[in-house]
Amino acid sequence: MQREYLKKATLTSRSDASDVTRTVQGILDNIEAGGDAKALEYAAKFDNYEGDILLSADQIAAAAAAVPEKLKRDIEFAHENVRKFAEAQKQTLRDIEVEIVPGLIAGQKSIPVNAAGCYVPGGRYSHIASAIMTVTTAKVAGCNHIVACSPPRPGVGINPAIIYAAHICGADKILAMGGVQGVAAMTFGLFGLPKANILVGPGNQFVAEAKRILFGRVGIDMIAGPTDSLILADATADPMIVATDLVGQAEHGYNSPVWLVTDDRALAEEVMRLVPTLIDDLPEVNRENATAAWRDYAEVIVCPDRETMAATSDEYAPEHLTVMAADLDWWLDRLSCYGSLFLGEETTVAFGDKASGTNHVLPTSGAASYTGGLSVHKYMKIVTWQRATPEGARPVAEATARIARLEGMEGHARTADIRLRKFFPGENFDLSADA
């Protein structure tokens, strides 16, 4: 594939992978053995917090009172948008039944999991939007019990806006606990909580590793790495908007890749000129992240045509994909590997991150090549059922008996035999493997 790198990453999202497995496994083992008391020990150690773990109704009300009215309206606006989209997604799931052969009916049924654990980051940034994204979708799915878990700050507790968002979105309990200990508390059903059936939400490398280790015992949305974003832009794009969007995503973290793929060299060069200035203009904490991400992880790629641009994007399978190019319908039809797609300069990744309605919990590190992001569907079990009349069972039983014997599974075959003898007494069936 012909493409030119005007800027090549010196590191990738996997370059910084630390061996945290042993640490996380040890914490999980200790908490599972020691229960509530051990989880509280880790909360005191890592969160530097010894306040109430489960928030009371009065504490939730006090937190709500501390949130400015304008911010409340913004949270409610975002919640309503996410709820509407989640409800529309749920409508795509329907129970079905079909007659496979005469007399044999098979069906599909969608059942929400009972208990969902929603992790809401609250360290460097207070991820109010993550509370909205995870709790709202669980509520719309129909989960019977939803826990929102977020790390408290020393002497302060959970950010009041996170508490307010989790509460209005439908959390049944709010847990002031972060990191591995928070994930463990939801998984093991500590502090009187039901054991979570699924864990969702972003988190740091320790949270991600805890979810990876626990997967199988509980469901998870995905194993997330550093957030990443790619912009596809042609000569019609505004270089200032392109550069601003790249910087906006680079501020997530020092190891958050951002990529520009274009067929216009002049645009690429102008964006590369603008980005450092825009980074320098950020507040210091954001500037540090964006500087490192742009320096070490960013790439700028020039392609000969839009087909090569699209193929490059699909190869990278970005978490966030923005298109600022002519003929947006062509791009929508052509592109196939992304977590969420943003078409045109009228929308941007930050809209999806915060308030537009689509979910911001998305696949990273190329996982968009095989999976989508968090949705109502992640909380649903798609199960099947069947029933039959004796006549409907007859051809299935005959085929089952012969296939099972060919496989050497005589016990399976006999479960078919006994039904044929009961339903059709006196008839002879040739059920040998070589019949």
Q: Distance between CA 261 and CA 3 in Å, rounded?
A: 9
Does the annotation count 145 as an active-site position? no
| Catalytic site residue from 319, 345, 391, 407 | 319
6 by DSSP, 3-state: which? strand
CB atoms within 10 A of CB 130: 29
Does the annotation count 319 as an active-site position? yes
- Do the bridges between strand 258-262 and strand 198-200 make them parallel or antiparallel, or are there none, so unpaired? unpaired
Q: Distance between CA 12 and CA 257 in Å, rounded?
A: 7
DSSP per-residue string spanning 212-274: HHHBTTBEES----S--EEEEE-TTS-HHHHHHHHHHHHTT-TT--EEEEES-HHHHHHHHHH
Own/partner contacts of 203-207, CB < 8 Å, gap of 24 or more, are 203/119, 203/121, 203/179, 204/121, 204/123, 204/179, 205/18, 205/20, 206/20, 206/23, 206/24, 206/179, 206/180, 207/119, 207/121, 207/179, 207/180, 207/182, 207/183
Write b or e for each residue in 22-45: b if 16 or more Cβ atoms lie within 10 A of its Cβ, otherwise e. eebeebbebbeeebeebbbebbee
- Give me the active site residues, please: 319-320
